[in-house]
Amino acid sequence: MAKIIGAVGTSHIPAIGKAMDQGLEQTPYWKDFFDAYPPVRNWLNEQQPDIAVVFYNDHGLSFFLDKKPTFAIGAAPEYTNADEGWGIQPIAPITGETELAWHIINNLIEDEFDVTVCQELRVDHGLTVPMTLLWPNEEYRKIKVIPVAINCERHPMPKPSRSYKLGQSIGRAIQSWDSDETVVVLGTGGLSHQLDGARAGFINKAFDLYCMDKLVTNPEALLGYSNADLTETAGAQGVELAMWLAMRGALEGEVNLLHQNYHIPVSNTGAGLMLLEPT
């Protein structure tokens, strides 16, 4: 059976992509942020997972408000990136995966998660920034990706507990796939931030650190939060915790924390990084 060998949580802020475009990684603003990534890259390089299941949210590239799925999953051989309107350079296509993707889809529907299935999808910075952060210099092209998009843009959004359960269902599906391939799960986005309104710039370090601790030791402690609670406590875009919860849900039971970092600010955001391994 396929095996989940680990999971990574990382922020996906567009400014990270721009900084990489411009080679700013070692400048004073960026150094502490980027210096946290080599241990995770090294681990990925040692483990050589075959497939990455990536929980992310689309910010108006593929999914406009006309047709915006609550949960969507890709089943395509390739995913392209494109101009998002504010200056981040599109990256070369991401390699897709269809066999495990369809196995997950069949299992999700059987599990009463009626996801939108995408046989063609343009992926935005929510997915591409983590890929280039974790596998720089187009190394990301060697890993097969299954994107899973969660609506974090328009309310109503899935409850945080529901995103966790989606992750659990996907985790079970992966582990029931008759294959010897290995899988890493990525949760991207967050942590606390608010871009809009008079409260723009709100960051809650204490809450972010609390979430990062609970994601390791007791994720179910976070499942009581509503999206309104997260908006209040972590800012309007703090609801992106959904992807970290889905990532953690995919890992059954206890985990080892192999690496973590938390850095303020990256753009308007408290930026988190976490590498987990099943026990």
Partner 1 sequence: MNAARNPLDTVTFDGPKATQGYNLNKMCYSFNEASAREAFKADEAAYCDRFGLTGEQKEAILKRDILRLLELGGSIYYLAKFAGLLGLSVQDVGGLQTGMSTEAFKEKLVRAGD
Q: What is the DSSP letter of 194?
A: -
Residues 6+ apart with CB under 8 A from 87: 18
Query: Which of 12, 59, 103, 193 is labelled catalytic?
Result: 193
Q: Is residue 248 a contact partner of residue 219, using CB atoms and an 8 Å limit?
A: yes
- Work out how close the CB of 118 gets to partner 1 at its nearest, in angstroms, rounded to a whole number: 18
Q: Is 155 a catalytic residue?
A: no
3-state class of 31 per DSSP? helix
Whole-angstrom distance, CA of residue 67 vs CA of residue 58: 12
Q: What is the DSSP letter of 34?
A: H
SS (H, E, C) 147-167: EEEECCCCCCCCCHHHHHHHH
Q: Considering beta carbons, is residue 31 or 205 the nearer one to partner 1?
A: 205
Angle among Cα 262, 265, 270 to the nearest 5 degrees reads 50
Give the orientation angle of helix 205-217 with respect to helix 227-234, to 10 degrees.
130
Q: Is 193 a catalytic residue?
A: yes
Applying CB under 8 A, the residues found at the interface with partner 1 are: 15, 59-61, 64-66, 82-87, 153-156, 194-201, 203-205, 228, 231-232, 236-237, 263-265, 267-268, 270
Q: What is the DSSP letter of 35?
A: T
- Work out how close the CB of 61 gets to partner 1 at its nearest, in angstroms, rounded to a whole number: 7
Query: Which of 12, 125, 155, 263 is labelled catalytic?
Result: 125
- Work out how close the CB of 112 gets to partner 1 at its nearest, in angstroms, rounded to a whole number: 24
- Work out how close the CB of 198 gets to partner 1 at its nearest, in angstroms, rounded to a whole number: 5
- Work out how close the CB of 56 gets to partner 1 at its nearest, in angstroms, rounded to a whole number: 13
Q: What is the DSSP letter of 215?
A: H
Q: Considering beta carbons, is residue 51 or 212 the nearer one to partner 1?
A: 212
Q: Considering beta carbons, is residue 64 or 92 the nearer one to partner 1?
A: 64
Whole-angstrom distance, CA of residue 195 vs CA of residue 255: 33
Angle among Cα 204, 210, 211 to the nearest 5 degrees reads 90
Q: Considering beta carbons, is residue 142 or 199 the nearer one to partner 1?
A: 199
Q: Considering beta carbons, is residue 97 or 240 the nearer one to partner 1?
A: 240
3-state class of 276 per DSSP? strand
- Residues serving a catalytic function are 125, 193
